[in-house]
Structure formats: C-alpha cells, structure tokens
Amino acid sequence: MDLRLDNIRHAYGDIDVLRGIDLEIPSGNIVCIVGPSGCGKSTLLRLIGGLEQPTGGTVWQLGEAPDGCLNPLTYIFQDFALLPWRSVEQNVSLVLEDHALTGEQRAAIISDVLSRTNLSDFANALPKQLSGGMKQRVAIARALAVRPAVMLMDEPLSALDSQTRELLMDDLVGLWTREAFTAVYVTHNLAEAVRLGHSIVVLSRRPGEIREIMEIDMPLAERPQRMDDLAQRQQHLWNLMRDEALAADKELLDA
C-alpha cells in the first residue's frame, strides 16, 4: 500500500504548523522526516496515522494492504509503551487480542516476530528485566505482529545510547532486507536518516514546508561500507537545516 499526501495543511488555532505538504510514500520504502525542532514532524506523523485530521488537504491510502494485514497503520514510539506487568510475549500478544484469531494462530505470529527480532529467549521476561534496546525490539515485534502496511516511527531510537542505537539500526536493516516494509520515520538524528532512509524529507522551520527531498539510491546493507558518501549527504542535510535549527533552538530558549 502506498501513501500520498496532497497539499496537507495544519494549524492549532492561529498557529500554522504545516503548509502545502505534497509527498509520495511508496510501498517498501523507508521515508525519513527531518527538520528543525518544532517544525511539525511529529504532527505530520499523527496526520498520516489518523490521530488528528488535517486542517486542509488529504492523506490517501492507495492499493491493497499486504496479505494477513490486521492493522494498516501502526506506531512505534520512543518510549516503548510496554505494559510493565506483562511479559515480552504478552506485550506482543496485546495487539492481537481484539482480532478473530485462534490461539494457535496467535502463538504462531508471536513466535515468528520474536524470532525475527531475536527475542525468542526472552519471551517470558518482564520489561524491567530488559535493556532499553531490547525494550524497543519488543515494540518493533509488537508492530510487526499486525503485519502493517505502513509503520509510523516517531523518534524510535532517541532514548537509547549511541552504541545501542547503532545495533538497533542494524536490526532494522536486517528486518527490511529479509522482508521489505514501508515506514515513515521521524528523527532529529541525521546519521539515522542517511543510514535508514530511501528518501529523506527536509521540513522548514514552522510552518513546516518541504524544502528538499533527498533520494538515496544505495542498498541499505551496503551503507556501512560507504560512510564517506553518507557523511557528505549528512553534511548537505545539516547545511540545509543549520540556520533554521539554531533559530528554532533560540526561540525555544526564549520561550
């Protein structure tokens, strides 16, 4: 399933947050959204996911969801959103419990996604027994369990230390390589964007408008071996954003 955004506009009262957003999100691609603080990145994600309705414009879902899809759009947040009294297996099971599945079907799905995220040995562990990286793996497994058409990822690695973030990026690349998924990935981290994004959408300072869309025609698995190329792309993104990012930070400090 593809997504298309036509002239998306959004405001909170008299404050314009997003303006004139036209964007194609092709099936099987990871589209990263970057921009200065307060430019509307997370708001755009909520509009795509239907958590809010845009002031103007339309979000189109085009084509068919994948076979076995239980939820076309699903979120992954930075704070993991795990229930502390449920085990890993039970946290994943939570998203399946409102669907007409047999116990055998549910068990098969849980076993599959725990295997794909290297969590099979931790099925009975509670969240308090897990590291931050493993908690986020549980959140990813839970999202995969509903076989979504599009994963909406809001700063999913920002709460992790740099080493764990690198490992999780490798995990995401491995998951995508084995079975391509579609994702809209909001991040402040430009290194994440060039490592994971098939395209990178740069938003301007509020009201957020698309300044540039950078396409990266480079296999995800090959990117660690092409760091010089990625560093140049990352620098280009920062050059686009730097002045507005500094102004946005000053605005927040003054406020």
113 pLDDT tier (thresholds 50, 70, 90): very high
Q: What are 185-229's pLDDT values in tens digits?
A: 999 999 999 999 999 999 999 899 999 999 999 999 999 999 999
- Please report the DSSP string for 69-110 in residue order: -S-SEEEEETT----TTS-HHHHHHGGGTTS---HHHHHHHH
243 pLDDT tier (thresholds 50, 70, 90): confident
> Which strand (E) or helix (H) includes residue 223?
none
* Confidence at residue 251, expressed as pLDDT on a 0 to 100 scale: 64
Q: End-to-end CA distance of the chain, in Å?
A: 41
Residue 248, pLDDT > 70, answer no
* Confidence at residue 100, expressed as pLDDT on a 0 to 100 scale: 87
* Confidence at residue 254, expressed as pLDDT on a 0 to 100 scale: 55
Mean pLDDT on 170-188: 93
User: Among all chains, which residue has been given the structure tokens 């300044």?
Assistant: 211
Q: At what angle do helices 132-145 and 162-178 cross, to 10 degrees?
A: 20
- Please report the DSSP string for 160-171 in residue order: S-HHHHHHHHHH
- Cα–Cα distance for residue pair 210/202, rounded to 1 Å: 6
250 pLDDT tier (thresholds 50, 70, 90): low
Mean pLDDT on 80-108: 92
* Confidence at residue 45, expressed as pLDDT on a 0 to 100 scale: 95
98 pLDDT tier (thresholds 50, 70, 90): confident
Q: What percent of the chain has pLDDT over 90?
A: 78
Judged by DSSP in three states, 10 sits in strand
- Cα–Cα distance for residue pair 206/103, rounded to 1 Å: 48
CATH architecture of 2-66+149-254: 3-Layer(aba) Sandwich (3.40)
- If we measure between CA atoms, which residue out of 177, 180, 167, 156 comes closest to residue 45? 156
The residues spanned by each domain of the chain are: 2-66+149-254, 86-147
- Cα–Cα distance for residue pair 8/207, rounded to 1 Å: 12
Mean pLDDT on 99-118: 92
